[in-house]
């Protein structure tokens, strides 16, 4: 395949996504605008019921964003100052930010090289002491190995919080992301597989008492209006506009995910003979939020692709345990060789619902040309 000369391919294109969803989204927006109610009304209640049903959960609580969802989950589980939370360091600081926000400390766990998700053996090696919870991230949309991770956490009687921000609709053996641990946390940032027109988030759980606590914490700790009975409450409410948009898009999510898997399969077939380390073959356990390859010449490859009009990203360039904010807060040392290797090698190629076959061919051709060019230079 040859890169299409002059064709620029973005990592994502939200304007294109708006055009393809306008017919269902615009009526939802206009309905909210005409209603005169914009926070925690019927639209939020309707979306919470629909998303709980989609995930197979008893309860869904809409909140302001995905990081708030993680923070409120920790608070509702009585994790607080001085406690430790086991999590990974290769997922963009979102879990770490929530942990630090409540005065707790992250205890970082290395990941498996193929999936880049939490390594169950590495988790077992760190548990004990002051660890009060585990946050498992389903990175890039692929479900982590929950069948092996959950028994490790259960052996220490620890709740497991799932970070499902990139895994909307990922499913293994009939069990959705967010339905494996104690509580699942979602982000609806506009670039997510199910994205709002701004920030938004939600938590799903079967635990009625936990859901009640989270619902109180998202609104000042109120049990009833103006009566704050639960300490640690804050303002983190999903608004009516975002809820209506999400409800309008939700019926399309499975088809969108299948399109992402189709694109990922095309990449895998076309690039299997290249020097790139490709992610596992896509299946229902992978929502393919991002298509992330690994390359020992990542920076050269990225520059060569940019010269050919192919946009890329790095998710994520600096592991959490190397972030200044984390070092200032915890002074934590962590031995994470796989995480460090991934940070040097990961590269996100364009892969989004509205991407065309012509664009995918252009990316593949540009990758092949770029790797050949880099190889010539290195010889």
197 and 271 both lie in a single domain: no
**Is there a single domain that holds both residue 157 and residue 61?**
yes
Same-domain check for residues 215 and 327: no
Residue 4 pLDDT more than 90? Answer: no
Nearest Cα residue to 197 out of 26, 372, 70, 2: 26
My answer on whether omega of the bond before 316 falls inside 30° of 0, hence cis, is yes
- Residue at 318 is within a domain: yes
Q: What is the pLDDT of residues 28-52, one digit of tens each?
A: 999 999 999 999 999 999 999 999 9
Q: What is the pLDDT of residue 379?
A: 34
Out of 220, 251, 282, pick the residue that ends a domain: 251
> Is residue 9, in this structure, part of any structural domain at all?
no
Question: Residue 128 — very low, low, confident or very high, per pLDDT cuts 50/70/90?
Answer: confident
- pLDDT score, position 378: 38
Residue with the bigger pLDDT between 375 and 214: it is 214
* Mean pLDDT, residues 299-309: 98
If 0-12 CB within 10 Å is exposed, 13-18 middle and 19+ buried, where does residue 231 land?
Answer: exposed
Q: Considering the domain boundaries, does residue 4 fall inside one?
A: no
Q: How confident is the model at residue 193 (pLDDT cuts 50, 70, 90)?
A: very high
pLDDT score of 134: 98
Distance of alpha carbon 352 from alpha carbon 364, whole angstroms? 15
Domain shared by 46 and 147, yes or no: yes
Average pLDDT over residues 255-276: 98
Average pLDDT, stretch 1-8?
64
Quick one: 105 and 45 in the same domain? Answer: yes
Q: Do residues 224 and 261 share a domain?
A: no
What percent of the chain has a predicted confidence (pLDDT) above 90?
A: 92
Domain membership of residue 49 (yes or no) is yes
The pLDDT value recorded for residue 129 is: 82
Report d(CA 296, CA 81) in Å as an integer: 40
Q: Are residues 279 and 205 in the same domain?
A: no
Give pLDDT, residue 331: 57
**Domain for residue 1, yes or no?**
no
Looking at the fold, whether 356 and 264 belong to one and the same domain comes out as yes
Mean pLDDT score, 180-192: 98
Residue finishing a domain among 251, 274, 291: 251
Residue 20 in contact with residue 217, Cβ under 8 Å?
no
Q: What is the pLDDT of residues 203-261, one digit of tens each?
A: 999 999 999 999 999 999 998 899 888 999 999 999 999 999 999 999 999 999 999 99
Looking at the 3D structure of the chain, how many domains does it have?
2
Q: What is the 3-state secondary structure (H, E, C) of the chain?
A: CCCCCCCCECCCCHHHHHHHHHHHHHHHHHHHHHHCCCECCHHHHHHHHHHHHHHCCCEEEEECCHHHHHHHHHHHCCCCCCCEEEEECCCCCHHHHHHHHCCCEEEEECECCCCCCECHHHHHHHCCCCEEEEEEECHHHECCCHHHHHHHHHCCCCCEEEECCCCCCCEECCEECCCCCCEEEEECCCCCCCCCCCCCEEEEECCHHHHHHHHHHCECCEEECCEECCCCCCECCCEHHHHHHHHHHHHHHHHHHHHHHHHHHHHHHHHCCCCCECCCCCCCCECCCCEEEECCCHHHHHHHHHHCCECCECCCCCCHHHCHHHHHHHCCCCCCHHHHHHHHHEEEECCCCCCCHHHHHHHHHHHHHHHHHHHHHHC
What is the pLDDT, as a whole number, of residue 5?
Answer: 60
pTM here is 0.96
Give the rounded percent of residues in the chain with a pLDDT score beyond 70.
97
Structure tokens at 244: 């209506």
Average pLDDT, the chain: 95
Answer left, alpha or beta for residue 239, where phi above 0 means left and psi between -120 and 50 means alpha. Answer: beta
Q: pLDDT digit string (tens) for 52-104?
A: 999 999 999 999 999 999 999 999 999 999 999 999 999 999 999 999 999 99
Q: Tokens 């490790």 map to which residue?
A: 152
pLDDT of residue 332: 61
Residue 168 is predicted with a pLDDT of 98
Host domain of residue 238: 17-251
Q: Which of 230, 251, 272 is the last residue of a domain?
A: 251
pLDDT of 321 above 90: yes
> Angle, nearest 10°, between helix axes 66-76 and 94-101?
40
Q: pLDDT band at residue 376, thresholds of 50, 70 and 90? A: very low
The CATH number of the domain holding residue 96 is 3.40.640.10
Q: In this structure, is residue 146 part of a structural domain? A: yes
Q: Are residues 300 and 351 in the same domain?
A: yes
In terms of Cα–Cα distance, which of 191, 213, 196, 171 is closest to 64? 196
Q: Are 63 and 171 in the same domain?
A: yes
181, part of any domain: yes
Return the CATH number at 356: 3.90.1150.10
Give residue 6's pLDDT.
72
User: Do 257 and 247 share a structural domain?
Assistant: no
231 and 87 fall within a common domain = yes
Indicate whether 351 belongs to any domain: yes
For residue 327, what pLDDT is reported? 86
Give CA–CA dist 259/288, Å, rounded: 9
Confidence of residue 348 (pLDDT cuts 50, 70, 90): very high
Rounded average pLDDT over 144-163: 98
**Closest C-alpha among 47, 51, 15, 14 to residue 28:** 47
> pLDDT at position 3, please?
45
Residue 334 has what pLDDT? 84
Can you give the pLDDT at residue 377? 43
Max Cα-Cα span within the chain:
71
């Amino acid at each position: 395949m040859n890169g299409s000369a002059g064709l620029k391919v973005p990592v994502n294109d939200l304007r294109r996504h708006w055009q393809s969803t306008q017919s269902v989204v615009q009526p939802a927006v206009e309905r909210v605008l005409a209603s005169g109610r914009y926070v925690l009304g019927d639209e939020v209640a309707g979306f919470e019921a629909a998303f709980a049903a989609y995930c197979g959960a008893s309860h869904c609580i809409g909140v302001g964003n995905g990081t708030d969802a993680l923070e409120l989950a920790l608070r509702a589980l009585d994790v607080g100052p001085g406690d430790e939370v086991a999590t990974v360091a290769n997922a963009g600081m979102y879990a770490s930010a929530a942990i630090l926000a409540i005065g707790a400390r992250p205890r970082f766990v290395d990941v498996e090289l193929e999936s880049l998700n939490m390594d169950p053996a590495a988790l077992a090696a760190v548990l004990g002491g002051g660890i009060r919870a585990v946050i498992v991230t389903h990175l890039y949309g692929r479900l982590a190995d929950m069948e092996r991770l959950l028994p490790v956490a259960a052996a220490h009687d620890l709740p497991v919080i799932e970070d499902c921000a990139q895994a909307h609709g990922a499913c293994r053996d009939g069990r959705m992301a967010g339905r494996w641990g104690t509580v699942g946390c979602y982000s609806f940032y506009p670039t997510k597989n199910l994205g709002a027109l701004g920030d938004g988030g939600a938590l799903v759980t079967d635990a009625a008492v936990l859901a009640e606590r989270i619902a109180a914490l998202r609104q000042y700790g109120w049990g009833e209006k103006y009566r704050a009975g639960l300490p640690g409450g804050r303002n983190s409410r999903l608004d009516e506009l975002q809820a209506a948009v999400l409800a309008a898009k939700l019926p399309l999510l499975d088809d969108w995910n299948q399109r992402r898997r189709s694109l990922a399969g095309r990449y895998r077939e076309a690039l299997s003979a290249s020097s790139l380390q490709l992610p596992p073959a896509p299946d229902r356990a992978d929502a393919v939020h991002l298509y992330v390859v690994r390359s020992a010449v990542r920076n050269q490859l990225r520059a060569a692709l940019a010269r050919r009009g192919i946009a890329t990203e790095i998710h994520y360039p600096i592991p959490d345990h190397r972030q200044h904010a984390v070092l200032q807060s915890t002074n934590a040392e962590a031995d994470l060789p796989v995480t460090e290797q991934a940070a040097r090698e990961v590269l996100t190629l364009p892969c989004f619902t509205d991407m065309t076959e012509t664009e995918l061919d252009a990316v593949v051709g540009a990758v092949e040309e770029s790797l050949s060019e880099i190889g010539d230079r290195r010889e």
